[in-house]
Every structure is written in C-alpha cells, then in structure tokens.
C-alpha cells in the first residue's frame, strides 16, 4: 500500500494530532460530557488509521506497530480486570464496586473509579481497532507479494 | 419530530434496499453508509449524543475498511442462479418473516410511545444515578457502575475479536 498525494499528507499531518487530542478529551471527560471510553478509543484509533492510510505502509514497520498495539490492548484489558477485582481485595463481597471517594459531581476528578474504567477501556478499544486494521493491512501486503 | 424521523427511516430503508440490489459492490458499500449516518441523525434527534458519537466514528472506520476490501477484491457481485433450492430458501425466508411480523404486531401493543419511559428501573436510574455514582453523565454512570459487568463483557469481546483476527490472518507470516 503506497501513500497518497502531498496535499493529503500535509492535511493529515495537521489534522491527526487534533483528532488524537479530541479522543483523549472524549475519554477523560467521559463522566461529564457525552462520550466515554468506547467512543474516545475509536477516535484515537481513527487518528492512527488516517496516518497509515495517508502515508502508506512503506514508511512504517507494520510488524512492530501491530505487536505494540496488541500488547497495549492486552495490558489495558488486564488493568480493567484488576480494577474490577480490587473491590474483592478491599473487603466488598461483590465483583465491581465504586470504591474510590466520589468527590463533587461535575468536577474532573470525581465519580470514583469511573474515569479509570473510561481510561483503560478507551486504551483497550483503541488498541483492538488498530490491531484489527493493521492485521488486515499486513495480510494484504503478504498475500500480494 | 416524528415526521422527521419517519422520513429519515424511509431514506435508510431505501439505502438498505439499494445496497442489496446494487450491481456494483462499491456503490452497495456507500449505500450502507446511508443507513449508518441516517441512524446517527436519528440518535441526535432522540437526544442520545453518546450513541451518536460512537455510531458516527464506528460507521466511518467500518466504511474505510469495507471500501478498502472492495477495492482490493472484485467490484462485481456474484451472479445469482434461480433453481429449486432458491425457491425453498425464499419460502423459508417468507415464513420466518411472517412469524416475526406476527409477534412484532403482538408486542407493539405493549410498547410505550417513542421517547417516553414508564419502567420502574429507569425511574430509579434517572433519579438516583448522580448521588450513587457521582458521575454527571448518566450514560457513563450506568454503563460503568450499574451495568459494569456488561461493559467488562463488551471490552473482553472486542479483545477476543482482535485476537481472533490476528490468529486467522497472520498464519502466513509465522512459517
């Protein structure tokens, strides 16, 4: 897969960072404004997919990328499960409990563990979507050569 | 608002029918986009911005992947042949459709009108969510606190899907 024209590359350079920051905003403000881990994760994956589509796979080492993204995804889902198990360690007899202090509703640091869940699920979703896309690209390149 | 949603729904049904019958697979993929983006506008009109954000981003990425797949393989649809087996399939499909329509018509009597809710659980969620979870966004409060088990399952499903794609597609590189 070769890259696209100079115009698309330049516009992508300007836009991809903004899309990435917007995804981080959607994840971090998931408990305050519409959005959350799933939506923000897919937006972050979209920024990477835009870069890969515009610049082509020749300038990137796709094998390293896919091992990195699948590793990040596995680590994030492990952290989600550990966070769910934490309430068992802290004495509650049920699986998922909001054990951190709730704080003032409406503040950025509020709602207990919900921002942490949003963060880890967002990273996990971004890694999963990017892994699927990269696996498809690698499969296409291997089958065409 | 009902009229607007009905018009968008008619438009979505037309797009879906065109996607089935289009000869060119690329135009079928673009017609599937009509269904997805029409659904986004429906979600916005029904005051569900959370779902609208997820739907618009997932629809865009799915469209990109499907366009890439269509451009890489054939753009022509496989010619359908008409024989006894297809008649059997059509009859089976019609029976299933009629059965589903019958139960749908039975069930629609008991549904509330669009946008209203009279369930006891949803009243408790709407009134008590902010104090119980501390989250101002009620949707996040529900999916990560009251229904966190479901969300864990969804995240694990996505992880399993990525693992499955890796296992299926990367066999060639491992030899």
Instruction: Verify whether the Cβ–Cβ distance A132 to B165 is below 8 Å.
Output: yes
Q: Is A33 helix (H, G, I), strand (E, B) or coil?
A: coil
Smallest CA–CA distance, residue A58 to chain B, in Å, is 17
Q: What is the pLDDT of residues A93-116, one digit of tens each?
A: 677 777 777 777 777 777 777 888
- Which residue among A34, A53, A128 sits closest to B161, beta carbon to beta carbon? A128
Number of structural domains found in chain B: 1
B64, B69, B131, B144, best to mutate vs chain A, most A CBs in 10 Å: B144
Query: Is there a domain that residue B94 lies in?
Result: no
Which residues of A are less than 8 Å from B173 in CB distance? 63, 138, 142
**HSE, side-chain direction, 13 A CA sphere, residue B113:** 2
Query: Is there a domain that residue B130 lies in?
Result: no
- Which residue among A80, A102, A106 sits closest to B152, beta carbon to beta carbon? A80
CB atoms inside a 10 Å sphere around CB B131? 9
Domain boundaries, chain A: 6-144
Q: Which domain holds residue B62?
A: 1-85
pTM of the predicted structure, to 2 decimals: 0.79
Locate all alpha helices (DSSP H) within chain B, ordered by sequence: 2-21, 25-45, 49-72, 84-108, 120-133, 138-141, 148-169
Question: What ipTM is given for this predicted complex?
Answer: 0.81
Which residues of B are less than 8 Å from A77 in CB distance? 155-156, 159
Query: Is there a domain that residue B175 lies in?
Result: no
Angle at the Cα of A119 (from A114 to A122), degrees rounded to 5? 120
Q: Compute chain A's Rg from CA coordinates.
A: 18
Closest of B121, B119, B139 to residue B130, by C-alpha? B139
Q: From CA A119, how far away is CA A116, in angstroms rounded?
A: 5
Mean pLDDT by 10 residues, chain B (175 residues): 87 90 85 90 87 88 84 74 84 95 87 67 74 76 80 87 83 52
Tokens found for residue B69 = 């797949």
Query: Is there a domain that residue B45 lies in?
Result: yes
């Amino acid at each position: 897969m070769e890259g696209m024209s100079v115009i698309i590359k330049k516009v992508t350079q300007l836009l991809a960072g903004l899309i990435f920051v917007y995804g981080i905003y959607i994840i971090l403000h998931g408990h305050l404004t519409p959005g959350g881990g799933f939506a923000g994760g897919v937006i972050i994956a979209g920024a990477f997919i835009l870069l890969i589509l515009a610049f082509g796979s020749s300038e990137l080492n796709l094998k390293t990328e896919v091992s990195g993204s699948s590793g990040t995804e596995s680590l994030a889902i492990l952290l989600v499960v550990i966070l769910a198990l934490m309430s068992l360690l802290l004495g509650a007899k049920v699986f998922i409990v909001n054990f951190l202090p709730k704080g003032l509703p409406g503040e950025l640091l509020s709602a207990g563990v919900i921002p942490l869940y949003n963060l880890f699920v967002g990273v996990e979703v971004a890694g999963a979507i990017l892994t699927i896309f990269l696996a498809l690209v690698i499969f296409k390149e291997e089958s065409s050569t | 608002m009902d009229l607007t949603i009905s018009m968008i729904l008619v438009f979505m049904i037309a797009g879906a029918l065109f996607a089935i019958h289009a000869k060119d697979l690329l135009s079928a993929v673009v017609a599937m986009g009509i269904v997805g983006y029409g659904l986004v506008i429906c979600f916005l009109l029904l005051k569900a911005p959370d779902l609208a954000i997820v739907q618009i981003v997932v629809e865009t990425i799915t469209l990109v992947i499907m366009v890439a797949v269509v451009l890489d393989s054939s753009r022509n649809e496989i010619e359908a042949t008409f024989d006894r087996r297809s008649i059997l399939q059509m009859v089976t499909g019609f029976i299933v459709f009629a059965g589903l329509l019958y139960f749908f018509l039975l069930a629609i009597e008991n549904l509330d009108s669009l946008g209203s809710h009279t369930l006891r659980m949803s009243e408790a969620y709407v009134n008590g969510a902010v104090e119980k979870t501390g989250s101002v966004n009620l949707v996040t409060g529900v999916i990560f606190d009251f229904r966190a088990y479901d969300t864990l399952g969804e995240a694990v499903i996505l992880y399993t899907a990525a693992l499955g794609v890796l296992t299926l597609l990367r066999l060639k590189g491992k030899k």
